[in-house]
Amino acid sequence: MKWLQAIQNKLPQHKYAINAKLLGDDRECAWTNLGYWNDATSSYPMACEQLAEHLAQAVQLQPQDRVLDLGCGQGASLKYWREHYQIQDLEAVELQQDCVDKINKHIQLKAIHCQSFLNLKQIPFPNQFDVVMCIDAAYHSDLNVFLNAAHSVLKSNGRLGFHYLMFSDQSLSAKQKIKYAWLLKAADVTWEHLKNEQQLLQTLTQHGWSNIVIQDFSASVLNGFAEYIEIQKMKKKSFDLEQLKIEMTAKLCRKFYQDGLVRYIQVSATKK
Ligand SMILES: C[S@@+](CC[C@H](N)C(=O)[O-])C[C@H]1O[C@@H](n2cnc3c(N)ncnc32)[C@H](O)[C@@H]1O
C-alpha cells in the first residue's frame, strides 16, 4: 500500500488547495487567484494584485470601512487591504483550515472564521459591514445563496464586490449543454447556477441590490491566466499532480475564453 500512501501524500489536502509556489508566488501569505493580466503585468503576484485592485475600486474602498473578505485563501488580499487602503477593521472567512492557521500566525486581524461564506448568518459578527469582497471564489456557489449571505451581513448602503461566471447570449445545442455541464463540473461550478447578463441583473435586483455594475474580464482573466501557465509550463522540469491541477484549470480557462460561452465577470452592487 506504500505507493497508494505516496500518491495520497502528493494530493492536495483540500479540493480548493492550490500550490501557490507553482503558480508563481512563494511568499508565506500568497495569492492564489487567476489574476488580471495586461501588457504591464510582469509577474503572477502583480496580476493577482491587479484583480484585487479592480474589485477595491469597484466598491470604492475607503480606510474607514469595516470590511469582510470572503474566501481569502492564504491571506495576500488581507495584507493588500491593510497596506494599500489602510483598512483597520478587517475580518475574513475561509473554508480551508490550513489557510486560516497560516493567516492567524502571520496577519493581525479583527477575526478570521474557518467557515463557508454561504453560512455567514451562523457567525456572531459584532457589527454589520460597510464592504464585503470576494476575490475569485464565489462562482463555486449558488448565486442566490451567496447573495443572501452577503446581504445579511452588510449595512444598508453597504457595498458588495465579487467575481462570477456568466453565460453569453449564444444559444447552445443539447449536446453542447451536456459538454459544458461537464466542463464546468471539472471547475467545481454547477451549470444550473450560471445565468446570462439579463438574468443576473434581474436576480440581483430581486435580492435587494442597486447600483449594479457587471464588467466582463474574460480576456484579462481567463485568457491571461491560460497564456501565463502555457509559458510557465515550458519552463517546468518536473511534473506532479499539483502542477496537473493548475494546467487543467488553465486549459479550462482557455476553452471558456475561446468558445465565448462562459464569461468571467466582476460584479459590484449596493445593498438597498
Ligand atoms: C481561487 S482561491 C482565491 C483566494 C484569494 N481570494 C486570493 O485572491 O488569493 C478561492 C478561495 O475561496 C475559498 N472558498 C471557496 N468556496 C468557499 C466557501 N463557500 N466558503 C469559504 N471559502 C471558500 C477556497 O478555499 C479558496 O481559498
Contacts of 94 (CB under 8 A, 6+ apart): 71, 72, 73, 100, 103, 112, 113, 114
Contact 121, 101 (CB under 8 A): no
Summarised one tens digit per residue, pLDDT across range 158-197 is 999 999 999 998 888 899 899 999 999 999 999 999 999 9
pLDDT digit string, tens, across residues 209-228: 999 999 999 999 999 999 99
Cell of 168: 453569453
The pLDDT tens digits of the residues spanning 17-36 come to 999 999 999 999 999 999 99
Q: Is the pLDDT of residue 10 over 60?
A: no
What's the gap in Å between 132 CA and the centre of ligand 1? 14
What value does the mean pLDDT take over residues 82-98? Answer: 98
pLDDT(3) > 70: no
This prediction's pTM: 0.94
8 A C-beta contact, residue 91 and residue 111: yes
Instruction: Out of 58-62, 128-132, 240-244, 262-266, pick the least confident.
Output: 240-244
Task: State in Å: Cα 73 to ligand 1 middle.
Answer: 5
What's the mean per-residue pLDDT of the chain?
Answer: 94
From the CA of 17, how far away is ligand 1's center (Å)? 9
Residue 94 CA, ligand 1 centroid: distance in Å: 6
Res. 12: pLDDT tops 60: no
Residue 255 has pLDDT above 70, yes or no: yes
Provide the percentage of residues in the chain whose pLDDT is more than 70: 94
Q: Ligand 1 atom closest to Cα of 73? A: 27
Average pLDDT over residues 61-75: 98
140 has pLDDT over 60: yes
* Residues at CB less than 6 angstroms from ligand 1: 16, 31-33, 48, 71-73, 76-77, 93-96, 99, 116-118, 135-137, 140-141
